[in-house]
Every structure is written in structure tokens, then in C-alpha cells.
Copies of this chain bind each other. A is one copy, B any other.
Amino acid sequence: MTDKEFFKVTSLGAVLELTRTFPCVSEEVLPLDQCVSRILCRDIVSSIDLPEFNRATMDGYAVQARSTFGVSESVPAFLNIVGTVEMGQEPAVPVKAGEAVRIATGGMLPDGADSVVMLEHAQALDEHTLEVFKSAAPLQHVMEIGEDFRNGQKILSKGSRVRPQEMGVLAALGETHVPVYRQPVVTIISSGDEIVPIEQTPGLCQLRDVNAYTLASLVRMSGGVSLYLGIARDNFADLHSLCKNAVGQADMVLISGGSSVGSRDFTLEVIKGLPDAEILVHGVSISPGKPTILARSRQKAIWGLPGQVASAMVVFHVMVRPMLEWIAGVSEDRSGATHEVSAVLSRNLASVQGRDDYVRVRLVRRENRVYAEPILGKSGLISTMVKADGLVRIDMNSEGLVKGTPVRVILF
């Protein structure tokens, strides 16, 4: 341990720019039912008109709208009922002026018909005679051919996440197999002589391997596949062998532990010994999370995360997750869209200039507003993470934020 060893810190913005120099994962083709939450690796263009026929969107009678023009409760029209449209079948008869055909929601409009009269606006006097007492506009209660999507239209974009509605569109087009990006594989290594597996009762001065579980969960919830490689002791051979193994099978490696200057140096040394290794970042101007390392080995990203569980989680949310989304192929305009909410700060927050401060907050609703209530407590405490709903950033150029400021909250 060298006294007063300060490392040169990189700004958060610069770190995020560096993460953009890593390549995206490869592609695969999956059966549609496995595609929820996956990222499309190609634009999807419609090969059909949707719907493919003019469809009724209400129960009622298919008519020519002009047969009803000018009618009212006091001056109704009388139309001849000439048949019924059966679901899933082509209409048996056309609709001429002065005629009506029974139709249900989803039924195909017969030739000649251009409008649907709702049940509520008509009354069958007998099997063959319909009284209509409200005029129907052309295309009323009708979904036209191609109104949802036109043949040849681009409907979904490369880089977008497949939500339930995108699943629906893909199903409607008959896309039984869909080209998506592979899920990034993230290997997780815990390091430190004081760390023991969770099933073991820690001796005095020892700690259970908490980061293995928090980080694996964060990876999974961010769309990655996590692979836990175990605990490396604080010796070069042990950590080097796990890291080499990790780089070989993953798109990204997370090494937690080594927050102290000594073990950080040690982790750095191990990373430098990996194939084609390059240290990109050694220290970031954020709090908590300053002692973070980002390196590259054979196009794979290697993160050295703080050993303190809460700090490691903050670094994950602020830097690792955005990078994971980047290598997963998520298009930039969508990235982060679903895990940030806006709120109003409930009290003043002081901050140190020259670093981005991340403050844990609880979201509290009062009437129609959401307030971000800072949770106090040391950065190493996991209890503050449990109480929190998210993080608020205080910019490095700010001395703090005053009560009432609108803020963005990164949700946990």
C-alpha cells in the first residue's frame, strides 16, 4: 500500500463514450415465443396488409352509408335484411342500396357495404326488416384494409426491444422465427481473501459473497446471461486463471472486490496480464464508485467494481447497464427509457463539486406528484439500497440540488 496514491479519474461521460468502442454481440434466429424482451437485429417490414380485409369493429349491420343519410329517431330508414356474415367466412351476399346484412365484430364487410350501423342505432322489426334511426357515416365502425400496417411498410426497428405488442405484430405477420441479438454473457468473479461462499458461516473478519448475487441479478434483469465463476483469492495465479477463463467465454467480465488501493493495484496487474489487455479507465469521478476499472482484452470488456455491495450496484446502474444494453444491440434512443422516472426532490441535497454524486432515493406519491426522498446512510450499507427505489444524480458541476428541483430517478 503506497501512501497518498491518488489515481487519475475519468469523467462518467468519457467512460460511457469508451464503452461505445466495444462491438455488439452476434445474432441468432429464435422461435417467436422465445423473443419477449429480446432486441431485434433487423428492421421488420410488413409482407401483408393488416387487416387483409375490411373488418367490422362493432356488432351491427353492414350497409351502404348513403342508405341511412338524413335518418333520425323521428324519420327512420327501413332496410331489407338480406343475410348474415359468418365469422371467418366470406360474406355470401353483397349489400345494395336499401339493404343490410347482419355482422359481428371482426366480420368481413360484404361487397357494396361501406359502413356498420351499431345494434344500438337500429331495430329489427322482423326477420327481413330493419329500422335504422341514426345516420351512419362512411367507414364508421370499419377497419379498412391496411389500416394497421401496409404491405412493404417498416413496422419495427432494428435495436428495439420486443414488448408484448411487438410480439403481437410479429404474430400477425406470421413471423414464426425472428432474427434477434444474442443475449450478452457476463461472467462474474468475486475477489478477496475475506470473502466466503454464502452457504459458509463467515469466520470473524470474513464476509459472505454478496456481490455474486446482486451482480448476477442485475445482469439478468438487464437482459444478460450471468455466469458466476467463483471467488478468487488475493493471489495472482488464482485471479489470473479465473479472469482468463472468464474472457474466453463471456462478452463482459465483472470482477468485484479490491476496493482498497492494494487489491486494486493487484487486480490491475492481473488484467494487464490478459491477452491484448488495455486499461481504459482507472478511477471514475463519481461517488460512490470512484475505484472502478474498465479494461479491454480481445474486444471483451472487463470491469473492476468496488467490493462494497452498494457501491458496486451504483456503478452497475450508472455505467455497466448502459454498456450492457449497448453491446446487446439496444438502439440509443430507446436505451434507459424504461428505467427512469421523473420526480421532485423533497429536500435540499449538498454535494461535492468535481464528481457526480449518486444519492439513493425513495419515491413517495402525494396527489399527482412523485417526490424523491433522499435516504441517508453510508454508501456501503445495503440496507439503504433496500429502502431505496432509485438513484438521483447530482452533476459534478453542481454544489447540490435544492428542494423542489425536478429530477430524473434511475429506478432499481
* Residues of chain B lying within 8 A (CB to CB) of residue A59: 1, 260-262
Q: Is A122 an interface residue (CB 8 A)?
A: yes
Q: Are B202 and A386 in contact, CB atoms less than 8 angstroms apart?
A: no
| Residues of chain B contacted by A104 (CB below 8 angstroms) | 1, 260-263
Contact with B along A250-274 (1 / 0, CB 8 A): 0000000001111100000000000
Give Cα distance in the complex from A368 to B192, angstroms: 42
Contact call B205/A89, Cβ cutoff below 8 A = yes
A53 at the interface (CB under 8 A from B): yes
- For A147, give its contact among B4, B213, B381 (CB under 8 Å): B381
Instruction: Say whether B209 contacts A386, CB under 8 Å.
Output: no
B308 touches A210 (CB 8 A): no
- Interface residue? A87 (CB, 8 A): yes
* A186-220 near B? 1/0 per residue, CB < 8 Å: 00000011110011111111111111111111101
> A residues 356-392 with Cβ under 8 Å of B?
363, 368-370, 378-383, 385-386, 388-389
A213 and B119 in contact (CB under 8 A), knowing A88-B194, A369-B406, A386-B155? no
Identify which of A72-80, A162-170, A293-301, A347-355 touches chain B: A162-170
Complex Cα spacing A386 to B198, Å: 43
Assembled-state Cα–Cα distance A173/B213 (Å)? 12
Question: Is A234's beta carbon under 8 Å from chain B?
Answer: yes
The stretch of A15-23, A279-287, A323-331, A336-344 in contact with B is A336-344
Q: A342-B369, A368-B342 are in contact. Are A172 and B108 (CB under 8 A)?
A: no
Which of A30-38, A63-71, A241-249 faces chain B? A30-38
A408 within 8 A of B: yes
Which residue of B210, B211, B263 contacts A87 across the interface (Cβ within 8 Å)?
B263
Q: Given that A59-B1, A204-B53 are contacting pairs, would A165 and B412 also be in contact in the complex, using a CB cutoff of 8 Å? A: yes
A341 CB contacts on chain B under 8 angstroms: 341-342, 370
A51 at the interface (CB under 8 A from B): yes
Contact A382 B165 (CB under 8 A): yes
B36 adjacent to A217 (CB under 8 Å): yes
**B33 near A259 (CB under 8 angstroms)?**
no
- Chain B residue numbers with a CB within 8 Å of A156 are 386
Say whether, besides A369-B406, A389-B337, A105 and B172 are in contact (CB < 8 Å).
no
A228 (CB) vs chain B CBs: closest residue:
B33
Question: Which of B171, B210, B212 is in CB contact (< 8 Å) with A213?
Answer: B171
Using A32-B213, A171-B213 as known contacts, say yes or no to A108 and B342 having CB atoms under 8 A apart: no
CB-based contact B120/A4 at 8 Å: yes
The verdict on A28 contacting chain B, using a C-beta distance below 8 Å, is no
Instruction: Indicate if A149 sits at the interface (CB-CB under 8 A).
Output: yes
| List of B residues within 8 angstroms of A3 by Cβ | 119, 122-124
A180 at interface by CB-CB < 8 Å = no
A404 CB, min distance to chain B CBs, angstroms: 12
> Which 3 pairs of residues, A with B, have the shortest CB-CB distance?
A88-B194, A104-B260, A164-B217
Seed contacts A89-B193, A143-B378; 20 additional CB < 8 Å A-B pairs: A4-B119, A4-B120, A36-B217, A59-B260, A106-B207, A143-B380, A143-B381, A147-B378, A149-B383, A168-B214, A168-B309, A168-B313, A171-B210, A174-B198, A174-B199, A174-B200, A337-B363, A337-B389, A341-B370, A342-B342
